[in-house]
């Protein structure tokens, strides 16, 4: 079990670094807002994060 948690944590950190490298600080803010919105089941925060990510991807 601990090996699975370690692998998932490494993937999340790698994905976060990829977003920051490609989209800068705004990408990290959008990713965090989307993640927090999903975890807290808050559609407004999750929606804001999703919209920002879509805007960054469309650029």
Q: How far apart are CA 23 and CA 7, in angstroms?
A: 24
Q: Give residue 53's pLDDT.
A: 86
Q: Give residue 1's pLDDT.
A: 66
Which residues are within 8 A (CB) of 48 and not within 5 positions of it... i.e. 6 or more apart? 33, 37
Average pLDDT estimate for 23-50: 90
Average pLDDT estimate for 34-52: 91
Q: How confident is the model at residue 16 (pLDDT cuts 50, 70, 90)?
A: confident
Q: How far apart are CA 59 and CA 25, in angstroms?
A: 15
pTM for this predicted structure: 0.68
Domain span including residue 30: 2-58
Domains in the chain, number: 1
- CA nearest 34: which of 6, 55, 14? 55
- Mean pLDDT in the chain? 87
Average pLDDT estimate for 28-54: 90
Secondary structure letter of residue 1 according to DSSP: -
Q: Look-up: residue for tokens 């993937």?
A: 11
């Amino acid at each position: 079990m601990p090996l699975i948690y370690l692998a998932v944590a490494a993937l999340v950190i790698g994905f976060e670094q990829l977003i920051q490298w490609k989209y800068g600080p705004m990408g990290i803010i959008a990713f965090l807002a989307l993640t927090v919105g999903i975890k807290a089941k808050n559609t407004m925060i999750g929606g804001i994060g999703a919209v920002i990510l879509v805007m960054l991807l469309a650029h």
